[in-house]
A and B are shown apart, each in its own frame.
Chain A
Amino acid sequence: MATYPQQPAHCKLKFLSELGEIFNSGAYSDLTVKAGPATFKVHKAILGVRTKFFEMATREDGFLESKDNIVTIKEHSAHAVWRFLTYCYVGDYPNAENKEIAEDDDETYLKHTRVHALADMLDVPNLKIIAAEKLETAFQVWDTGPFIQCFKEIYATTNTRDAGIRNVLLCAAAKNIHSLLGMQTFQNEFEGYGEFLAALLMKIKPQINSNTVTSRTRVNYREFFANGY
């Protein structure tokens, strides 16, 4: 009986990443996805594993999209769409910009925010987790201005049921409470986000008690998800 040598883990990963090569190669493509200036040649079968959206859009004799199998995604950045599609092929998406896209990449924090928003709309919960994790990693390099913008986008594209990514914001804010409070415009920026501020206060309560607010406070984000949120 023939025995097959077991493949080492990195071989499997390579195997998977090779799947990404047919993404946008045009080979056997049966669907075109457009976003901003970008056009992607994709495969319904592969996307269909992750989301029903494209299938529904192009069902025979149905909507406009079914005529020539082109789906245009509006109100989302070209890079977010690109990252979303990449995920559908290989299970992850790169942080680096795609130079071939004739649209600037989203800013550092917003990259992930926007992938998250798209993943939510198209109902891909696993991608939401990945995006939130990547955002958490990105917050390790702190920049107060973009944080505020990112914060506002997340609050606009999620609701209270989406506790995962909101909690990432909360932890990052707690960790960098000094630089946030150091902002002149703090009060203006956070007007109307009472819910968040209240949670933030509870988060930094131990630091206030010990009167030594360090910048080391950090909640293990993975642990948070593992608890079933």
Chain B
Amino acid sequence: MASRGPRGKIRPPRRGLVTDQVDFDEVWAVLAQSLGEIHHKNASALSFEALYRNAYKLVLKKYGDRLYNQVGQLVTEHLQYVAVRDVKPLVPSAVVTGTVGSAIEKRNGGSKFLEQLKAVWEDHQLCMSMITDVLMYMPHQNRVYCTDHKLPTTYATGMGLFREHILRNSQYKIGTALNKVILDQIQMEREGDIISHGPIKSCVHMLESLYETEEENDNEKVYLTSFENEFIDTSTEFYRAEAQKLLQECDAATYLRRVDKRLREERDRCADTISSLTAPRIQAVVEKELITNTIKEVMSMDSGIRSMLDHEKIVDLSLLYRLISRVDKHKNVLKDMACDRLIELGRNINSSLKTPPAPPPPQPQDISNPSTSGAAAVKEEKAASSATLMAIKWVNDVLALKDKYDRIWEQAWEKDKGIETAITRAFTKFINDLQEGPEYISLFIDHNLQRGIKGRTESEVDDVLDKAVILFKYLTDKDLFERHYKNHLSKRLLHNKSLSHDAEKQMISKLKVEVGVAFTSKLEGMFKDMHLSEEMTSEFRRKQQEGEALKIDLSVNVLTSTFWPAKAVGIDSKPCSYPPIVEEAREAFTAYYLQRHSGRKLIWKPNMGTADIKVAFKGRKHEINVSTFAMVILLAFNNVAPGESLSFTDLKSITMIPDEDLIRNLQSLAVAKSTRLLTKKPMSKDVKPTDVFSINESFSNPKIRFRIGVVALNRVENDKEKKETSDSVAKDRDQQIEAAVVRIMKQRKTLSHQQLVIEVIEQLKHRFAPDMGSIKRRIDSLIDREYLDRVEGSRETYQYLA
């Protein structure tokens, strides 16, 4: 009993805390009873301070280990009791006996079991946290324990005991039942039943809070070691079967939607039913079973990628892209199959040209035969323009295909870089498959610059030209294109058929952006020539007016031979004997020109020119535009009395026009009905060396001004021209290869064969793709001509000889 001190105060305890020896059994008996109360949820009757103090005393007096073991024992006994009393009655009998009840029974039974397990778990957690608090001083000591004895903390021990005595209870297989119930419920949900997520989530949470060992390593969660694998296995099985089912039941679009739905379901399941830890693994299962393993089959269905592409099913294609992206970052299946279809469509476009739906234009019969009929010439012209139409159709078809794939690429495929490359490759492939590709593209431009852009705004013209450039970019043989373009351009310029110089320049600057100045400099030179010629012609006329005026107006186009296609300026000059009035003008200009540019040589090309002549038939005057040759022919009749005639041979000796051109021009003048200025005897469609011609006095034409043309339109080349072109292309390419080899060797001095070839291909890639054989032949030729030599000792290395 405390006695009162001198100032009426209570005396402090004479002795402080625990000075006596502590009897373990006595204190433990009190503690054990209290912990039992905690287990029976009667903690509110217990003083925490007293429990803590008692536990503290035991540890202070070095009974820590005994206390630890006793607590473990007590918790174990309690859990064993709980397993029997609370959990065992609710373990679904199916797990034990193997029988399967009805779905509802299964679901309700399962839910009850899960709820109970959840309750038991929560009780245990609460009790363990209270016991841990009471034994606070022990883990505090445990800091030393942990390093010395490797003893887990009180709480971890409690968790471990739960794992051993509840989950892994050797008698009742509670853990197995738990897995089975959760997996059953998930299976039911996958099949469309509604299940309650809460209890599963709680139990999963429990599994996540438990570990294989008391070291509590994160990769040894019971969830991972005991549940996840089983979940993955059953899921794999489920989705493998699902894939087969879907393949049989669904069309491609539906299949994709089902897969997407499954992926979302599994993602949600990881969030609200099981653990987010599993998300990557289960996603991988669905991806493997429903995408990787089957997508090719799905895409090959009738309703597969082919139909999606053909009908531009953006939504489906987009979904397809997203699903494939999940399993293959290169999207190879998609790339391959989409491009296969693209190439197929492209080849269809190509082959539809060869079997056009319209009645096939008759092939020009043997052009080398000079006796081609006039009607045939007209037909040939028709065929040529129909071929032009074909070229335009081809370009438009290809562009439509390109537009379509662009739309799909943009809207459905997220502008994927890899797919873009594959599409480009596919276009390149089929465009270059078509031998006439370069020519067609040039014809398309030609058509537009002549007629197609009439009445269009600047930006519309720009669009059209851009489209042409798009196709141009796909061409491998850009030099072939250049050749055709030069031909077409020269005809546009010389025949004054170009609609807009601005548009022409725009086109050239677009090409320049794509492949550089070297490619376009000659084209620009052609424009320069035209410009200078105009200046020169007007200056020439001015000068002439100062002196003795010529009797005719002369316009001259002076073409630099290297800029223009051989056809226009080539060495095959076709001179003729001009009538004096023309000859006078020719000489005057020649004099003027050589005085202006001394040292140059002028070659006159009458086959390229035209003349406006004035004629009168039966008092009716006409102004007729004819070729220069036709003019020469007609003027020859000026020296002949009315009614007289000239034979073919006469004309030939007067005009000196080469046979072929003479025949062609006489055909236009004497055979074609509406332009028959001359009559021919005998009347026939062919022009023969024995024919005789006279002025057709009865000629009439309602038009005052008209034109008599010879076949000179830009059109598809015939076979002979094709051969000529390809020969000259080959020659030209050889020259370019040689030039490249010399350029490279001059700079590098010595180089291995391999390296040289690589650099040559690199230098020429904007023009054409040189083949190995020709490069090798050119190198050999250069060695023969002693530009290069093999380095002694190493056969594969060359050196440059200065």
Contacts and interface: CB of A to CB of B under 8 A. Distances in A.
Contacts, number: 112
A105 interface: yes
Given A63-B43, A63-B130, A117-B17, A74 B140 contact: no
A118 B17 CA distance: 9
Interface stretch (A6-14, A20-28, A155-163, A201-209): A155-163
A59 to B, nearest CB: 7
A153 interface: yes
Interface stretch (A75-83, A164-172, A181-189, A215-223): A75-83
B11 A104 contact: yes
Contacts of A104: 5, 7, 9-12
B44 interface: yes
Contact of A114 (B16, B50, B53): B16
Interface in A105-129: 105-106, 110, 113-114, 117-118, 121, 123
A37 B17 contact: no
Contacts of A64: 43-48
A196 B427 CA distance: 97
A55 to B, nearest CB: 9
B47 A63 contact: yes
Contacts of A76: 13, 16-17
A52 interface: yes
A74 B137 CA distance: 17
A72 B45 CA distance: 14
Interface string B395-439: 000000000000000000000000000000000000000000000
A144 B62 CA distance: 30
Contacts of A36: 10, 12
A72 B9 contact: no
B479 to A, nearest CB: 72
B133 interface: yes
A56 interface: yes
A189 to B, nearest CB: 14
Interface residues of B, number: 34
A102 interface: yes
Given A63-B47, A64-B47, A53 B10 contact: no
A33 to B, nearest CB: 10
Contacts of A114: 16-17
B10 A103 contact: yes
Contacts of B12: 36, 77-79, 103-106
Nearest to B5: A104
A61 B44 CA distance: 7
B27 to A, nearest CB: 13
Nearest to B129: A59
Interface in B1-24: 5, 7, 9-13, 15-20
A193 B46 CA distance: 37
Contacts of A157: 16-19, 60
Contacts of B5: 104
B136 A62 contact: no
B321 interface: no
Contact of A159 (B11, B16, B46, B62): B62
A121 B51 CA distance: 12
A82 to B, nearest CB: 11
B47 A75 contact: no
B48 A63 contact: yes
Given A113-B16, A121-B52, 6 more contacts: A52-B136, A76-B17, A114-B16, A117-B17, A153-B19, A157-B60
10 contacts: A57-B52, A59-B133, A71-B48, A74-B53, A76-B17, A114-B16, A121-B53, A123-B137, A157-B17, A157-B19
Interface of B: 5, 7, 9-13, 15-20, 43-53, 56, 60-62, 130, 133, 136-137, 140, 144
